[in-house]
Amino acid sequence: MKPDYTRICQRLRVLTENIPYETANLANASALLWQNLEDINWAGFYQWIDGILVLGPFQGKPACVKIPMGKGVCGAAAARDVMQLVDNVHEFPGHIACDGASNSEIVIPLHVKGELWGVLDIDSPLYSRFSPEDAAGLVRFAQTLEEILETCSR
Ligand code: SME
């Protein structure tokens, strides 16, 4: 079934309402994606801390903790400040395989107060899992989350 991204964004707003704790909100955001998207094997965040992407709250198998700027799909999204929609991760130069089951991936940069905050990263065991509709819906999810992060303390 196709995910209803409008409803998912509404759920995110309800879950995070009056909650000023960043980690708690990110944990629930990753759980919400995990619960609502089919055929994914990882959903979570890398935070831009001291010049490196550092693993944040997520759902899925344990993942690599540090990703340098420009490395892998996450590092490319952060360095270029552009969403990366990768239909086949094995063809992406420098892809970092945290979970060998991953075959496609989407990474969306997140900003807070006009600065790079980190990235949202979702992996799938299917090739070409993420359609243009998914990309558009997930960008809306990311924008909703950016507004919420503006109100949070780290
Ligand atoms: N595949 C990512 C690394 C993070 S994991 O997918 C959780 C990358 O190439 O940046």
Please report the pLDDT score of residue 1 as a whole number: 81
pLDDT tens digit sequence for 90-117: 999 999 998 889 999 999 999 999 999 9
Does any domain span residue 41? Answer: yes
Q: How far is 31 from 143, CA to CA, in rounded Å? A: 17
Residue 44 lies in a domain: yes
Residue 69 lies in a domain: yes
* Ligand 1 binding pocket includes 105 (Cβ within 6 Å): yes
pLDDT at 8 over 80: yes
Report how far ligand 1's centroid is from the alpha carbon of 117 (Å): 17
The CATH number of the domain holding residue 75 is 3.30.450.40
- Total domains present in the chain: 1
Domain assignment present for 154: no
Rounded-to-integer distance, Cα 100 and Cα 118, Å:
23
Is the pTM higher than 0.95? The answer reads yes
Tell me how far apart the alpha carbons of residues 114 and 135 are, in angstroms, rounded to a whole number.
Answer: 22
Question: 38 lies in which domain range?
Answer: 5-149
Distance 43 CA to ligand 1 centre (A): 10
What distance in angstroms lies between residue 127's CA and the mean position of ligand 1's atoms? Answer: 15
Classify residue 152 as exposed, middle or buried by CB count within 10 Å of its CB (0-12, 13-18, 19+): middle
pLDDT at position 154 over 80:
no
Question: pLDDT, tens digit, for every residue of 39-82?
Answer: 999 999 999 999 999 999 999 999 999 999 999 999 999 999 99
Of 117, 116, 94, give the one whose Cα is nearest residue 105: 94
Q: Is residue 109 part of a domain?
A: yes
- C-beta of 67 in contact with ligand 1 (< 6 A): yes
Question: 3-state DSSP call for residue 22?
Answer: helix
Classify residue 58: in a domain, yes or no: yes
C-alpha to C-alpha distance for 11 and 4, rounded to whole angstroms = 11
CA of 71 to the centre of ligand 1 (A): 9
Across 20-45, average pLDDT: 97
Nearest atom in ligand 1 to 92's CA: 9
